Structure 1
Amino acid sequence: MTIYSLYIFDRHCTCVYYQDWHRTKRPKPAVEGGILPAVSHAITPQPLPADSNAGSTFTSPRNTLTSTSGVVIAVNEPISPGPGLYQTPPSHQQTQANPPPSTSGLAFDEEAKLVYGVILSLRNMIKRISGRDEQFTNYRTSTYKLHLYETLSGYKFVMLSDPNTDSLRFVLRQIYNGPFLDFVVRNPLVIMDSKERGIDNEYFRANTDRLVKGLSVFP
């Protein structure tokens, strides 16, 4: 039994946080503009090289992204890994010697939309069929099990695990009552209920990582 990944969605149906542990195929980086900044370095779109057009003097009437337009096309700044983050390859030689793990066929923004769509559809179906206010907490397939914990403020904590894992709703509640409240809600530097930025905080990520790795179901 093991835990694969964690998603957090806000009340605007937007993924504001992502973290994974035992995924055999990591998601592809999202397309530019597909996700909010500060969701996770692992799935942030990679910037274009700053010198990709260096030495080229060709201009086209269709080219509106010129250096005189005042638009920042790309920023070539290295991303320093924080606790629980993926480290970027230090050199081209090391990348060839240690190839990165394979990725899934979907970009992360498409994957997040599918995860949220499944949650919304199943939750609505359960409420309609049951005829009463019954909660949707998890479902299982042959390859994974999805666990859901929804807060009163509309945040949805979603965790994917091995299909044989018992309910992890209490773990999601611990993440909310512990690291999330301590390092996100009570942090004056974190803008809550924002449509412009995620909630990737190094202390929240490190404490969530420590909490999950301390579970008995985590090998």
Structure 2
Amino acid sequence: MTIYSLYIFDRHCECVYYQDWHRTQPIRAPPAISNKPGVHRIPPPLQPNEAGAPTRESIFSETNRSSLLSNGTIDGGANRTNKLPKGLPFDEESKLVYGVILSLRNMVKKLSGREEAFTSYSTSSYKLHLFETPTNYKFVLLSDPSSDSLRFVLRQLYVGPFVECVVRNPLVKLDSRAEGIDNDQFRAAVDRHMKGLSMFSS
């Protein structure tokens, strides 16, 4: 089983955290006006320098650049050009994920009554797992379709790293729509927790 990505949505329907592990296509950065660097760690767009070769504006290492070359994000030939990854920009993608959750949750409540809860659904290429907290935060995990329910993993993330590194941290703004959960300690704790699972990449 493989775990692909994690989204956390706040009570205002905003994506405040994103992290991925086995994504097959690199994620597209959103437009600058809607970019929230605290939510995700998407590399900044490539900028051509005076010689025409693409460069990074920030501290991107040559190792990461080599990874982009191997993934086809940058043309490795003599005439190197900036190629955008396929798919939607991150802000549009996260809105679609939240929209699917909201629609399916409402459908389950209307068809089955308020006692039933929407927790997951599967397609041929992935399975979505949902855990809602008492304060209306939504933890969403995407895994391969053969996995069992992973709500327990999301609950562990909530009662462990989220409460310790975010809720109890006075420096983190929980209702920040501009920054998201900009906390390196939380990001590292989530990464350790996921990579420590037996099903992480089995």
* TM-score, structure 1 normalization: 0.76
| Alpha-carbon distance change, 78 to 6 in structure 1, aligned in 2, over 3 angstroms | same
Q: SS of the residue aligned with 2:42?
A: helix
Residue 134 (structure 2) pairs with residue 152 (structure 1): yes
Say which of 62, 85, 90 aligns to 2:62. Answer: 90
Q: CA RMSD in A?
A: 2.5
CA–CA distance in 2 between the matches of 1:47 and 1:176? 35
SS, match of residue 178 in structure 1: helix
Task: State how many pairs are aligned.
Answer: 185
Answering whether residue 174 of structure 2 is matched by residue 203 of structure 1, we say no
Question: Which letter does structure 2 place at the counterpart of 1:151?
Answer: T
Shift of 1:35: 4.0
Give me the TM-score of the superposition, normalised by structure 2: 0.82
Larger CA Rg, structure 1 vs 2: 1
5 Å-filtered alignment, 1:70-219, equals: 78-79=58-59, 88-90=60-62, 95=66, 98-100=69-71, 103-219=85-201
Note closer, same or farther for the CA distance 1:16–1:47 as it changes in structure 2 (3 Å cut).
farther
Cα deviations by residue, 1:53-76 (Å, 9 ceiling, x for unpaired): xxxxxxxxxxxxxxxxxxxxxxx9
* Letter of the 2:158 counterpart: Y
| Contact preservation (8 Å) 2:16, 2:177 | no
| Amino acid aligned to 1:142 | S
Q: Quote the offset at 1:41 in angstroms.
A: 1.8
Structure 2, unpaired ranges of 5+:
51-55, 74-84
Q: Report the Cα offset of residue 32 of structure 1.
A: 1.5
* Secondary structure, aligned partner of 1:33: helix
Alignment-derived partner of residue 13 in structure 1: 13
Per-residue deviation, 1:47: 8.5
Give, in angstroms, the shift of residue 218 of structure 1.
1.1
Displacement of 1:157 in angstroms is 0.3
Quote how far apart the aligned CAs of 1:96 are.
9.2
Query: Counterparts of 2:3 and 2:45 in 1: how far apart (Å)?
Result: 27
**Deviation per residue, 1:141-197 (Å, 9 max, x gap):** 000000000111111000000100110000000001000111111111111122222
For the residue of structure 1 that corresponds to 2:111, the secondary structure is helix
The corresponding residue for 2:82 is none
Bigger relative contact order (CA 8 A; separation at least 6): 1
